Amino acid sequence: MKRQGLPPAAKDKREMQRITDHRFAELIQAAFASIPPAIAEMLQYTHFFTGTDPVYAGLIPEELGEAQRRLQSIACCIYPKGFAQNLPKIYRRTTILLPDFSVLAVSDVVHELGHALDELLDFRHIAKPVTEYAKTDDAEAFAEAFTSCCFWEYGTDVVDEKTRYLFEQIGQCKIIPNPI
């Protein structure tokens, strides 16, 4: 049976959709349920790699040193241009790494989906930092602003107007500032 609408790598058995534990699947489903449906649809082909060392799997080169060790233990989003260089180009996909279930919250997965969204938008929008961590760089500012728009406890009222408008337009929804 032909699977239509999927990118070439998703039709192949070598795709990086590796979810090793049902708890990861539940966490990922909860994250997708927390974001606007139109954005969830845009991100539906984002790959996940869970519960396993991404260096061992060949997604991250061993020669990264300290950065490599950090990526082995934290959730992060890797992009086709920067990682998995040992794979043919056709098999490289934006992949969210979730190595350790015990330290993850739904908002962490939404944050990583924010990075995947940023890449889909070609990293063109610069959001103003909404948290201390968001001051790290433009990518973290975007992901933290996205997370803030999905979770009131993060404070949607701190997201700059242009960024909120962007998320409302692509999400086809109205983001309501935190009423508290």
Residue pLDDT, tens place only, 100-153 = 888 899 999 999 999 999 999 999 999 999 999 999 999 999 999 999 988 876
The answer to the question of residue 126 being in a domain is yes
pLDDT band of residue 65 (cuts 50, 70, 90) is: low
3-state secondary structure of 40: helix
The answer to the question of residue 132 being in a domain is yes
The answer to the question of residue 4 being in a domain is no
User: What's the domain range around 153?
Assistant: 16-171
Contact 118, 166 (CB under 8 A): no
Domain count, the chain: 1
The answer to the question of residue 146 being in a domain is yes
3-state secondary structure of 163: helix
Alpha helices in the chain (DSSP H): 8-11, 22-34, 37-42, 66-71, 106-120, 138-150, 161-171
The answer to the question of residue 85 being in a domain is yes
pTM for the structure as a whole: 0.81
